[in-house]
């Protein structure tokens, strides 16, 4: 996902930014303090960034994310920029976008949140050491608190990035599942077959009807066989959606044949009082195929000799 | 308004393509034109091509269904062809499945359907 | 419950027949521009056409407000139809689609309801009617 999409999915605007800053307690005073630390930061960047990556490279599980010297140089440079940006004394939408860009990059290379967050802890430790070593106690403590606040603000963004990326993956999987769930097959000239498997809820029912109609026009089909042997529950809603599908298929000049009707399903449909008379129905798929061929003016004959 | 929607005659079949949005005046004139054409010549079949319509609401659906019923009273079989899949879906979902009309995928199918329907009578 | 943000708003008068066509074209164009598939686009456009026509036919004049909605994971098109017409008597029966004296009105109303995701209707006999529809799309 691009950082722009993260901005969108986080609803990131001025109001959202204000509310996050308020929650983290990140005030303008804190930003002022951070800006006053700028010189200090520039002095200690290299040392802190090096120590930071020494940690990541010392551990087997994190070393693999930085395969070669070029990769390490690159991330050290990015990290230095990141580190210095903490002390610019600004926390506006542009700052957030930058953070999201960094987060997106980490998510893309597959660096899991547990490493990312543990690394932040190391960051704070290294910074803390330097701040306490360089400033008298009464100054060091408020400075360090401001640093902590902005780092935590960044951490919330990093976590949200991971969550958003996961949601995106889930949605893409759902889309793929949807496509797989309505496999319309052309079995012969002008004859389509749709074997339905699995439960049919109202969302899926709608997708099925839309896909069926689109495919009928694409294939100029005269007949579609819908096999429901694989549908575990046929209740009023499912029966109703089959009726609707048949009615709309008719408006495209085609006919629907329903097959795979078990005794149980036959009983349910009649007891529910659903009128499926406009549909051709068969118990087995084979009968449905023979009927479909008949409807388009064809027949299966035995070979002679 | 009359003549907005062209009506072609092919033997004893009328072909008409609805290519514009059916405002009230246009729709009424269309209906009148069709019936006048049926009355004038020995027309046994009517094919209405709606492939140009990207929306059919209950008003348009009613005009089309009515035209079909009026034509039948005058001895003419009507076939509606070229309905877009999203329109078929919308009409049925709305609860207006247009049960009384014959339908075909396109013009060719429509003419063939007419032939087979008339063959049965 | 994620808060809903209105990202755009457009008000269109409904007074003459051409307005019905203009309003539904505006909704159709918006749905297509925002990536609604053909089926969703046809659904919201047709519902819009029904409800705008209702204003023109039964109330003589009114207004249609087209808004774009946004939550974290969904995008929506909301159309609100307002008129100061006669209102709808026996609205429950009309919505059920079977009440004969208001047949065309009922068909359009109940039909539209089935085409959209959210549907709200407020009506007072003698004062007017407001109908609000929303069609959503995941982003």
Confidence at residue B5, expressed as pLDDT on a 0 to 100 scale = 92
Q: What is the mean pLDDT of residues B21-31?
A: 91
Confidence at residue A305, expressed as pLDDT on a 0 to 100 scale = 67
Q: Which residues face A257 on adjacent strands? A: A225, A280
| Backbone φ, ψ for residue A157 (5° rounding) | -65, -40
Residue of C nearest to B89 (CA): C39
Establish if B104 touches chain A: CB-CB under 8 angstroms.
yes
Confidence at residue C100, expressed as pLDDT on a 0 to 100 scale = 47
Closest Cβ opposite residue B55 in set C24, C104, C110: C24
Chain B residue numbers touching A252 (CB-CB < 8 A)? 83, 85, 88, 103, 105
Chain B residue numbers touching A254 (CB-CB < 8 A)? 105
Q: What are the residues of chain B with a beta carbon less than 8 Å away from any beta carbon of chain C?
A: 21, 23-24, 54-59, 62, 84-87, 89-90, 93-96
In angstroms, the CA A102 to CA A113 distance is 13
pLDDT tens digits for chain C (139 residues)? 678 999 999 999 999 999 999 999 999 999 999 999 999 999 999 999 999 999 998 888 899 999 999 987 899 999 999 999 999 888 887 777 655 444 566 678 989 999 999 999 999 999 999 999 999 998 7
Confidence at residue A168, expressed as pLDDT on a 0 to 100 scale = 77
Confidence at residue B121, expressed as pLDDT on a 0 to 100 scale = 47
pTM: 0.73
Q: Which chains touch C (3 or more CB pairs under 8 A)?
A: A, B
pLDDT digits (tens, 9 = 90+) for A225-244: 999 999 988 998 999 999 99
Higher pLDDT, A6 or A155: A155
In this structure, are residues B98 and B48 in contact, taking their beta carbons and an 8 Å threshold?
Answer: no
Closest Cβ opposite residue A9 in set C37, C39, C72: C72
pLDDT digits (tens, 9 = 90+) for A111-151: 777 777 777 788 888 888 888 998 998 989 999 999 999 98
Confidence at residue A15, expressed as pLDDT on a 0 to 100 scale = 86
In angstroms, the CA B98 to CA B95 distance is 9
> What angle do the packed helices C103-115 and B85-94 form, to 10 degrees?
120
In this structure, are residues C75 and C7 in contact, taking their beta carbons and an 8 Å threshold?
Answer: no
Confidence at residue A149, expressed as pLDDT on a 0 to 100 scale = 93
Nearest to C62 by CA among C70, C71, C53: C53
In this structure, are residues B58 and C104 in contact, taking their beta carbons and an 8 Å threshold?
Answer: yes
Q: Considering chain A, what is the average pLDDT of its residues? A: 87
A-contacting residues in B 27-46 (Cβ below 8 Å): none
Closest Cβ opposite residue B59 in set C18, C41, C53: C53
Q: What is the mean pLDDT of residues A48-74?
A: 83
Confidence of residue A76 (pLDDT cuts 50, 70, 90): confident
pLDDT digits (tens, 9 = 90+) for A86-97: 899 889 998 998
Q: What is the mean pLDDT of residues A162-180?
A: 77
pLDDT digits (tens, 9 = 90+) for B46-103: 999 999 999 999 999 999 999 999 999 999 999 999 999 999 999 999 999 998 899 9
pLDDT digits (tens, 9 = 90+) for A181-221: 788 999 999 999 999 998 898 989 999 999 999 999 999 99
In eight-state DSSP terms, residue B63 is: H
Residue of A nearest to B94 (CA): A244
Interface contact A252-B88, CB threshold 8 A:
yes
In this structure, are residues A259 and A227 in contact, taking their beta carbons and an 8 Å threshold?
Answer: yes
Asked whether residue B111 carries a pLDDT value surpassing 60, the answer given is: yes
Q: Which chains touch A (3 or more CB pairs under 8 A)?
A: B, C
Confidence at residue C103, expressed as pLDDT on a 0 to 100 scale = 53
Interface contact A217-B104, CB threshold 8 A:
no
Between chain B and chain C, the number of residue pairs with CB atoms below 8 A apart is 62
Residue of C nearest to B90 (CA): C43
Chain B residue numbers touching A248 (CB-CB < 8 A)? 85, 88-89, 91-92, 97
Confidence at residue C49, expressed as pLDDT on a 0 to 100 scale = 96
Torsion angle of alpha carbons B99, B102, B103, B104, nearest 10°? Answer: 160
Give this complex's ipTM.
0.94
Chain C residue numbers touching B86 (CB-CB < 8 A)? 38-39, 41-43
In this structure, are residues A103 and A7 in contact, taking their beta carbons and an 8 Å threshold?
Answer: no
Confidence at residue C101, expressed as pLDDT on a 0 to 100 scale = 47
Q: Which residues face C11 on adjacent strands? A: C65
Nearest to A104 by CA among A180, A52, A168: A168
Establish if C127 touches chain A: CB-CB under 8 angstroms.
no
Q: Among the residues of C34-138, which ranges form H helices?
A: 38-54, 91-95, 103-115
In this structure, are residues C31 and C77 in contact, taking their beta carbons and an 8 Å threshold?
Answer: yes
């Amino acid at each position: 996902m691009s950082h722009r999409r993260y901005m969108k999915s986080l609803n990131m605007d001025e109001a959202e930014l204000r509310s996050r800053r308020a929650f983290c307690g990140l005030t303008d005073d804190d930003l002022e303090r951070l800006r006053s630390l700028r010189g200090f930061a520039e002095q200690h960047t290299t040392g802190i960034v090096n120590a930071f990556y020494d940690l990541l490279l010392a551990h087997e599980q994190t070393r693999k994310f930085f395969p070669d010297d070029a990769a390490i140089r690159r991330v050290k440079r990015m990290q230095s920029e990141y580190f210095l940006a903490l002390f610019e004394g600004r926390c506006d939408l542009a700052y957030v976008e930058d953070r999201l860009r960094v987060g997106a990059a980490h998510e893309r290379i597959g660096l899991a949140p547990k490493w990312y967050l543990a690394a932040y802890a190391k960051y704070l430790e290294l910074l803390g050491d330097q701040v306490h070593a360089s400033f008298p106690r009464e100054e060091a403590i408020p400075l360090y608190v401001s640093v902590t606040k902005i780092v935590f603000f960044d951490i919330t963004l990093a976590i949200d990035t991971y969550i958003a990326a996961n949601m995106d993956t889930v949605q893409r999987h759902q889309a793929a599942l949807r496509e797989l769930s309505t496999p319309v097959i052309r079995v012969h000239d002008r004859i389509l077959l749709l074997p339905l498997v699995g439960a049919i809820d109202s969302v899926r029912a709608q997708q099925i009807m839309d896909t069926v109609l689109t495919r009928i026009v694409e294939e100029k089909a005269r007949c579609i066989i819908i096999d429901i042997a694989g549908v575990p529950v046929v209740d009023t809603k499912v029966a109703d959606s089959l009726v609707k599908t048949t009615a709309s298929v008719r408006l495209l000049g085609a006919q629907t044949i329903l097959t795979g009707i078990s005794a149980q399903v036959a009983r349910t449909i009649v007891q529910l009082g659903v009128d499926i008379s406009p549909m051709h129905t068969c118990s087995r798929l084979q009968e449905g195929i023979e009927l479909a061929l008949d409807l388009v003016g064809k027949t299966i004959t035995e070979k002679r000799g | 308004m009359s003549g907005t929607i062209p009506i072609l005659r092919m033997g004893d079949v009328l072909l008409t393509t609805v290519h514009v949005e059916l405002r009230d005046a246009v729709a009424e004139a269309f209906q009148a034109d069709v019936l006048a054409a049926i009355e004038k010549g020995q027309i046994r079949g009517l094919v209405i091509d709606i492939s140009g319509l990207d929306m059919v609401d209950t008003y348009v659906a009613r005009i089309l269904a009515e035209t079909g019923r009026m034509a039948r009273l005058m001895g003419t079989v009507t076939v509606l062809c070229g309905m877009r899949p999203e329109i078929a879906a919308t009409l049925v979902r709305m609860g207006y499945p247009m049960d009384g009309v014959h339908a075909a995928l396109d013009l060719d199918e429509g003419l063939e359907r007419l032939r087979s329907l008339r063959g049965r009578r | 419950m994620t808060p809903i943000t209105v990202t755009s708003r457009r008000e269109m008068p409904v007074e003459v027949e051409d307005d019905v066509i203009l309003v539904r074209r505006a909704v159709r164009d918006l749905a297509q521009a925002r990536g609604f598939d053909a089926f969703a686009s046809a659904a919201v456009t047709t519902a819009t056409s029904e409800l705008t026509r209702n204003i023109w036919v039964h109330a003589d004049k009114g207004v249609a407000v087209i808004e774009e909605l946004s939550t974290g994971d969904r995008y929506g098109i909301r159309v609100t139809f307002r008129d100061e017409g006669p209102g709808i008597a026996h609205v429950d029966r009309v919505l059920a689609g079977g009440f004969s004296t208001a047949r065309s009105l009922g068909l359009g109303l109940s039909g539209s309801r089935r085409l959209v995701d959210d549907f709200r209707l407020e009506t007072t006999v003698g004062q007017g009617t407001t109908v609000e529809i929303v069609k959503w799309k995941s982003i």
